[in-house]
Every structure is written in structure tokens, then in C-alpha cells.
Amino acid sequence: MVKHRLPRFPFDYINDKADEYNESRWMERNQKRATKLSIQYLFDEKLNGSEAHGIQTGVSSLVLDLGCGTGFSSEILVENVFTVIGVDILPDMLLKAREKKKNLKYKRYLMLILADINFLPIRANKIDNIISISAYNFIIHGKENYGEKVKLLNDTAKYLSKILKRDGRIIIEFYPKDDQELTIFNNSFTKNGFEGFMVKSNPKQKSGQTFLLLKKRM
């Protein structure tokens, strides 16, 4: 079996690397699989509890795709009848997503924005749900100091809570590198208006593929 390493940010997402990423069947398969699983997690009974009235489907439900990259995740979200705002900070990646949009049957339900996750041009209480596939851990790229990481994650969680509607959900699929990193990501949400739980591909590993299933507290 061939082992695939995780891409390095931003080096494996720019210039010719963006083309390689976009043309990788392995990457497309894994990104789309994670997106489909994330959609299922939006409706998870354990997360929703007895009050699932906040869950909506259909084009009136607005989903923010954080770190949409070349659009693999946005494609799946639109196909599942969501209105989608795809956001990415890298122009080379977003260009590929725009090319994909041209071929979508429901292209009018996809908007693409070049922006930083931490500085989104979105007003308060406008987003129904948020999904992020293999991108959220990159927001602390370049931050070596523990305190800087904690502050940035806390600020981002507060902002995401602000733009989410009441009962809004967030499903994050990411790859923490160790126990400490996993803890500060978890704490940033639990301390800033969210509740939920974690699902890991390998429960015995602190690193590796991890899903955070989060719900905005009332």
C-alpha cells in the first residue's frame, strides 16, 4: 500500500502544486468522502439531542465551506442541495474551484470568496452551518508560540460563533499533530460558545484524522 503524506501549507497548494493537488484522484476521493461524512455528522442524533429544529436542508440552508481549496468539498455540498459560500486564502486553489463551478449543474448556489478564515466578510447570524475539510489546522501556520496559537484559535472560534445562526453547527475535519494541539483546538470551541464531541478515525491516536462535531450553545 502506498502511503500518502499530508500536504505542507502553503507550499503544496500554490503554483504547479495546486495543479497536482487538483488532479490527484487520491486527494479528490478522500476530500469528497470526508465531506459526505461531515454532512452526515450535521444530522448526528447525539449532537442534535432532542431539539433538532435548527437543522435545515434545501437551498435556503447556507453552509460556509472554510478552506474550500480547489472545490472538492463545495461540489459535494452543492450536490446535496445546500447554498454554499466557499472561502480560501490561496488564489491558486480558488482558481481551480472557480473552474469547477462552471461545470456544476447548480452553479448559482455556490459563491467563492478569497479571504482569510480569521477575517471573513460575513455579517453576524447569517450562516446556518459550517464545514471545514482538511484545512482548519492551517490557521495556526507560522505560529510557534503556544500563547499565540491559543489566542488565534480563541479569536477564530468567537468569530465563527458570531456569524452562525442560533443552533448553528460546525463540522471540522482536520489533522492535529499531537495531544497538545488537539487540546487547544478543542478548548477554543468549548470556551467560546460551543458544545459537542470528537470522532477519530483511530481512537487510540491523538494525531491523525479527527472530526469535531460542534453546536452553538443557546
The 10s digit of each residue's pLDDT in 100-117 is 999 998 899 999 999 988
DSSP per position, 66-81:
ET-TTSHHHHHHHHTT
Does 2 have pLDDT greater than 50?
no
Contact status, residue 113 vs residue 121, Cβ threshold 8 Å: yes
Domain 11-216 is in which class? alpha beta
- Is the pTM here over 0.85, yes or no? yes
Contact status, residue 55 vs residue 42, Cβ threshold 8 Å: yes
Question: Domain-by-domain residue ranges, the chain?
Answer: 11-216
Report angle CA 91, 188, 126 to the nearest 5 degrees.
Answer: 60
Dihedral sign for Cα 61, 62, 66, 72, please.
positive
Cell numbers for 17: 502544486
Report angle CA 102, 106, 108 to the nearest 5 degrees.
Answer: 75
Mean pLDDT of 64-85: 96
Strand pairing report for 83-88 and 110-114? parallel
In tens, the pLDDT along 170-195 reads: 999 999 988 889 999 999 999 999 99
